[in-house]
Structure 1
Amino acid sequence: MASHGLVEVDSIEIKVIVDNEVDPISPSNNPAVQYTGLFQGQPLDPLPPGHGRGDAKAEIKMENICCGAHGLSLMITTTKGDKKHTMLFDTGPEESAWERNATRIRADMASIEHIHLSHWHRDHSGGILEAVRMINAAKMQPDTNTKPQRVTVDLHPGRPDYRGMVTPTGMIVSLEADPSFDEIENAGGVVQKNDELHTVLDGFFLASGKIPRGTPYEVGIRGGMRFVKDTGAWISDEEIVDERMVICNLKGKGLVVFTGCSHAGVINVCRHAVELGAGLPLYAVVGGFHLADNNPEKLANSLADLKMLQPKVLMPGHCTGYKFKFMIEQAMPAVLAPSFCGTTYTLA
């Protein structure tokens, strides 16, 4: 057992329910990551008798392939011996995107015990109400082996009234409001408010508190703003201090870090994970690195510092940006395994 009660697990399965990109064709170039390409991981439907298609036994329908959306939602199942725990990490930008893809990927929704929201941004919280409703409905089905217990929703207590950004011209653009605590409870979620380090699901997961800022070049989201209803004013909100990562300890490998957007900076995220891991090496980093809109100097600094941490698996998605993925592939061969919507990855 690592520090802070984090339990060593035998394997980690990651179903990507929502991410910006879809690629059911490309196979894995990282030998440490198992996933099927060439459409082999896509759901198949049986063909009816007398279908007139020769020896064909099944059909792949385009309506069964997940669709990309600007956001992130990962269904993470950890296994230790004969025991499993499943967490939903974020819920994507909208209810219809989550419902569509969770259905298409044929996720075992009844197995989801815990929803962790990485931070209050609509592209991560937008599907939470529908996710809660669908998960709880699945738990109530008589053919499930799980107890009909409502899903827990782990949230930072500092929900903003609204978030937005200021453009280079000075115009403030607002995002939609995140679902409220009351709305989540009314949908059937058991709300838990956490801003401190804590373990989840028998110690199979470790959820962070505030991520320390240490690197001089990772200064948050440029132009980030927050609206305060009580004062009627927009204020600077570039650090996104409510963002929290989740860590697993993979047996014989090390720390697997799940990050929503890395607004604290992906290097700050990784270094803090290593600190919490009490000597365990950094093995994998999964999620958004938020480098899509950054300058070449920050990209170069991030890559250099990431290489020094020596991860064996990098699964960038969502807000990482194509430039940084290309840089990883060039500088760290066979480490990259991009996060694609609709794909199931296995780390073991």
Structure 2
Amino acid sequence: MDTTPLLQEVDSLEATVIIDNELDPMSPAAPDTVHLSGQIGSIAVRPDSKISGRGDAIYELRMGNICCAAHGLSILITATKGDKKHSVLFDAGPEEDAWERNVQRLRPDLASVEVIQLSHWHRDHSGGLLRAIRMIKDAKRAQGISDNLVVDLHPDRPVYRGIALPQQIVSLEADPTFEEISQTGAVIEENDETHTILDDMFLVSGGIPRVTPYETGLKGAVRFDSESGEWYSDELIADERFLAVNVKDKGLVVFTGCSHGGVVNATKHAMKHMPENTLLHCVVGGFHLATSDDMQVQKTVADLKRLDPAVLMPGHCSGWRSKFAIEKAMPGTLVPCTVGTSITF
């Protein structure tokens, strides 16, 4: 029997993409999907972009206010229900300088962040974590509020992860350690089971059941055993967890880190935690199809179509082929998850 607390409906949801592989500050969203802000038009008319002495021109579009893409993911997610508002940082991108640079350009309210959830232990999601914690705590202190900050982590942190190629193994950079995270002053909460946080407005999954025959994990993934000095298979990436929010009159919005376990598996598992009549509104984040063959892309898109989302926002490791296939199969549902945009549901 599922004992997970019931995920509460929220009145509105906003997500600001701090890190993603793709930059596109110009393309509009498809009609009747989401509202996008933070694109080049709004960047151009910021108060600090005002100029004089150029005739009728009173603003200057400054390139230094446009975010930069990086291989990874980080999304600041804010949910509002009545007079309550809560914010979660979902992942922290690949490296500290990229995260700080884009935050300085986006200027989000870092002091509002109460929880950081790491989707899984891979450096392109954890690399900016330590600086993100420090900057969030600094922002809280600057506003004279408590600098309490929780970091929600899966307890199974590999020493190193890597990819086994035909002739050699390539090691990934290590994720921050529990000790390094604790030294920032953040409070670590280790979770490998599904749970809700922040007045039950966010659901954080546990392990994602593998129910599709074609979503089999990350091919060639290995992890290092420091005691034996050997690498062994780690293709399931079993520590990956998604984040979900139920938006009133819309439905469930699911945020995925990489979908190593499969974006269809993740979405189906998210929907199982909801009442039977709940609609799937949107899936945002990594679909991990960039290196998949055409058969897996087509099967994934076909199963996503059966789940009947109103919007799909593939980003990070999704790849252009999957976006093309989604737009072809479900015209009008695609809104790429690009860095620098704020999405309002």
TM interval, short-chain normalised? over 0.9
Aligned residues: 341
Deviation at 1:306, TM superposition (A): 0.7
2:330 to 323, 329, 332: 332
Give 1:342 deviation, angstroms. Answer: 0.5
- Counterparts of residues 119-134 of structure 1 (less than 5 Å): 119-134=120-135
| Letter in structure 1 aligned against 2:48 | P
Aligned-pair identity (%) = 55
Distance in 2, Cα, partners of 1:128 & 1:271: 29
Q: Please give the alpha-carbon distance, in whole angstroms, between the structure 1 residues aligned to 2:41 and 2:154.
A: 38
How far is the alpha carbon of 1:61 from its aligned partner? 1.1
Residues 41 and 343 of structure 1 are in contact (CA less than 8 Å); yes or no, is this contact kept in structure 2? no
1: CA distance between counterparts of 2:81 and 2:73? 26
- CA drift at 1:30: 3.8
Deviations 1:200-242 (A, max 9, x none): 1111100011110011111000000000111111000000000
The SS at the match of 1:210 is coil
CA–CA distance in structure 2, aligned partners of residues 129 and 102 of structure 1 = 14
Counterpart of 1:129, as a letter, is L
Q: TM-score, structure 2 length as denominator?
A: 0.96
Q: Please name the residue that 2:321 is paired with.
A: 323
Aligned twin of 1:137: 138
After superposition, residues 33-44 of structure 1 pair within 5 angstroms as: 33-36=34-37, 39-42=40-43, 44=46
Matched to 2:245, the amino acid is: C
**1:1-348 counterparts in 2 under 5 A?**
4-36=5-37, 39-42=40-43, 44-46=46-48, 51-141=52-142, 144=143, 147-167=145-165, 169-279=166-276, 280-347=278-345
Q: In the superposition, relative to structure 1, how do residues 62 and 157 fare at CA in structure 2: closer, same or farther (>3 Å)?
A: same
- Alpha-carbon shift at residue 157 of structure 1 (Å): 0.3
Counterparts of 1:272 and 1:201, CA distance in 2: 21
Q: CA–CA distance in 2 between the matches of 1:53 and 1:14?
A: 36
8 Å contact 2:92–2:126 — kept in the other structure? Answer: yes
Tell me the distance in 2 between the aligned counterparts of 1:42 and 1:241.
40
Gaps of 5+ in 2: none
SS at match of 1:113: strand
Q: CA deviation at 1:59?
A: 2.4
- Where does structure 1 lack aligned partners over 5 or more consecutive residues? none
Cα deviations by residue, 1:47-72 (Å, 9 ceiling, x for unpaired): 567x3112333322101110000000
Shift of 1:36: 3.8
2:210 touches 2:261 (CA, 8 Å); kept in 1? yes
Inter-partner Cα distance in structure 2 for 1:6 and 1:341:
28
The answer (yes or no) to whether the contact 2:21–2:70 under 8 Å persists in 1 is yes
In structure 1, distance between residues paired with 2:49 and 2:268 = 51
Secondary structure of the corresponding residue to residue 152 of structure 2: strand
Matching residue's letter, 1:304: A
| Distance in 2 separating the partners of 1:98 and 1:175 | 19
Change (3 A) 1:68 1:41: same
Distance in structure 1 (CA, Å) of the matches to 2:135 and 2:270: 32
CA offset digits 1:281-317 (Å, max 9, x no partner): 2111000000000111111111111110000010100
What is the TM-score with the length of structure 1 in the denominator? 0.95
Question: Aligned partners of 1:336, 1:48: CA distance in 2, in Å?
Answer: 34
Return closer, same or farther for 1:108/1:36 CA change in 2, 3 Å cut-off. closer
Task: State the Cα distance separating 1:276 from its structure 2 match.
Answer: 1.0
